[in-house]
Amino acid sequence: MSETYKVTGAIKLIKETETFPSGFCKRGVVVTAGDDKYPQDLLIEFFKDKGDLLDSFKPGDEVEVNINIQGREYNDRYFVSLQGWAIKRIGAEQDPGPASYENEHGEDMTVGDDELNF
């Protein structure tokens, strides 16, 4: 899958980091997306050090989250999960400073005042 998917909405809940005996860790955020009539609460999981991206956010923040859609089969049942790899604040509360985030390949996509990203 080479497409980039984005979810926009308000943060409803930020979960605590879960660490497993293997050393693997993940942290989830629930984003309420969609319109007022049919809102959808979506759990988006950030793995390893990507969970730290959620530290500067709080419930109520309007955000745009870049995700990968993951699907798998287990015991003849199929599951889908949303894996986040970048998040930014949108709307009136957005920080006017330079955007700083990583793309899905872990490359720094920071845009400074003296450079244009095109």
Name which of 18-22, 90-94, 104-108 the model is least confident about.
Answer: 104-108
Tokens linked to 9: 């909405």
Tokens linked to 48: 């390893």
SS (H, E, C) the chain: CCCCEEEEEEEEEECCCEECCCCCEEEEEEEEECCCCCCEEEEEEEEHHHHHHHHHCCCCCEEEEEEEEEEEEECCEEEEEEEEEEEEECCCCCCCCCCCCECCCCCECCCCCCCCCC
Q: Which domains does the chain have, with CATH numbers?
A: 5-89 (2.40.50.140)
Looking at residues 8-33, what average pLDDT do you find? Answer: 95
Give the integer Cα–Cα distance in Å for 43 and 12.
Answer: 10
* The pLDDT of residue 36: 83
Check: CB of residue 101 under 8 Å from CB of residue 57: no
The tens digit of pLDDT for each residue in 52-99 reads: 999 999 999 999 999 999 999 999 999 999 999 999 999 754 454 445
Of the pLDDT bands very low, low, confident and very high (cuts 50, 70, 90), residue 4 is confident
* The pLDDT of residue 94: 47
Pairwise pLDDT comparison (51 vs 91), residue with the higher score: 51
